[in-house]
Amino acid sequence: MADEIVIDVRGLNKSFGDHHVVRDLALSVRRGEIFGFLGPNGSGKTTSIRMLCGLLTPDSGEGTCLGFDIRRESKAIKRHVGYMTQRFSLWEDLTIRENLRFVARMYSLDNVESRVTGALERLGLTDRAKQLAGQLSGGWKQRLALAACLLHEPQLLLLDEPTAGVDPKARRDFWDQLHELAGHGITVLVSTHYMDEAERCHKLGYILFGRLLAQGTADEIVASQSLVAWSVEGPGLAALAPRLRALPAVDQVAAFGSELHVTGTDAATLDAALAPFKSEPGRTWQRIEPGLEDVFIHLMQSRAAQPAEDAAVPAP
């Protein structure tokens, strides 16, 4: 069923030494959804994903993944999960086909040659099957890693910043492949720093200092923060930016090409603060809709005063 909940967890916590990395995580993910995790480095994204999939045991909390208890049945969960790390982890001195054969045998899979041939065809690797993995570009290594993840026909894919260092065309092709897999009922958990990738996820969660601060569709997350945004074009923007940042009503000022985007949380107060600047000649002001990037910077800044001991660290 498309509406089936495959991940349902509550109150998950994880610490490494004195660092409380994930705090009271609660989340539901449906079959065939692409759920994206966003947040700065060290925010707890990777640790959260690993707990959701049974790859890391939480200190407290409960829930299920693919119908299995995440604390008591982690081995059963792992048999149905494909895990792709940010760093290429296959063997560079083996060919593409040899890598896939090796992975298939590690999983003790049957019909190895049939599975390998199917993976090559599915990811467009057939013509490069005899090429050494070490000779591949970042985009082709990414395809090979995804092919290896799919050999044992997982129901859930766990992708940890899979497109870091990959060119835009390869990133777009990769996401097209993810949506095709999701269309066949495979659930995807992915961490990313790219806003264009975040917008291609069905649902998103933003994590900071181990807490899930916002979750939902991209539109729902933007709407939940009630930000107000203006764009300004014209001469002297570099000198204008620090003047705007000094205003108490201004939440952030960011350059976007030949424009500045100015955001705040109270429309009336922001409009009043910007009124003198709008009267200055030569510039054009326009009310715009805030974007995901505006929201995530706002969330980060709003929690910047949190005590240092609350800060998370990357999972070891």
Task: Write down the pLDDT at residue 304.
Answer: 58
pLDDT category at 2 given cuts 50, 70, 90 is: low
Query: In percent, how much of the chain has pLDDT > 90?
Result: 63
Assign 313 a pLDDT band (cuts: 50, 70, 90): very low
Rounded to an integer, the average pLDDT of 18-24 is 93
Q: Which residues pair with 33 in a beta bridge?
A: none
Residue 106 — very low, low, confident or very high, per pLDDT cuts 50/70/90? confident
| Per-residue pLDDT at 211 exceeds 60 | yes
Polymer length of the chain: 316
Beta strand 34-38 with 203-208: parallel, antiparallel or unpaired? parallel
Tell me the pLDDT band of 187, cut-offs 50, 70 and 90: very high
- CA 232: distance to chain centroid? 30
pLDDT bin (cut points 50, 70, 90) of residue 53 is confident
Q: Is the pLDDT of residue 1 over 60?
A: no
Over residues 279-304, the mean pLDDT reads 87
Asked if pLDDT for residue 138 goes beyond 70, the answer is yes
For residue 280, name the pLDDT band (cuts at 50, 70, 90).
Answer: very high
Give the number of other Cβ atoms within 10 Å of residue 249's Cβ.
18
| Average pLDDT over every residue of 149-154 | 91
Give the residue-averaged pLDDT of 33-41. 91
Q: Would the pLDDT of 311 be above 90?
A: no
Strand order from edge to edge, sheet including 5-16: 19-30, 5-16, 60-65, 68-69
Q: Which two tokens stand for residue 293?
A: 């990037």
Question: Which structure tokens are listed for 86?
Answer: 């940010």
Confidence of residue 308 (pLDDT cuts 50, 70, 90): very low
Q: Is the pLDDT of residue 154 over 60?
A: yes
What predicted TM-score, i.e. pTM, was given to this entire model?
0.85
How large a percentage of the chain has pLDDT more than 70? 95
**316 — pLDDT class (breaks 50, 70, 90):** very low
pLDDT score at 3: 65
Pick the more confident residue, 87 or 315. 87
Could you give the CA distance from residue 95 to residue 92 in angstroms, rounded to a whole number?
A: 8
Which residue type, as a one-letter code, is found at position 206?
Answer: Y
pLDDT at residue 305, rounded to an integer: 45
E strand intervals along the chain: 5-16, 19-30, 34-38, 60-65, 68-69, 81-84, 156-160, 187-191, 203-208, 211-216, 228-233, 252-256, 259-264, 284-288
Give the chain's domains with CATH numbers: 31-57+79-222 (3.40.50.300), 228-289 (3.30.70.2070)
CB 191 within 8 A of CB 38: yes
Which residue did the predictor score with more confidence, 127 or 162? 127
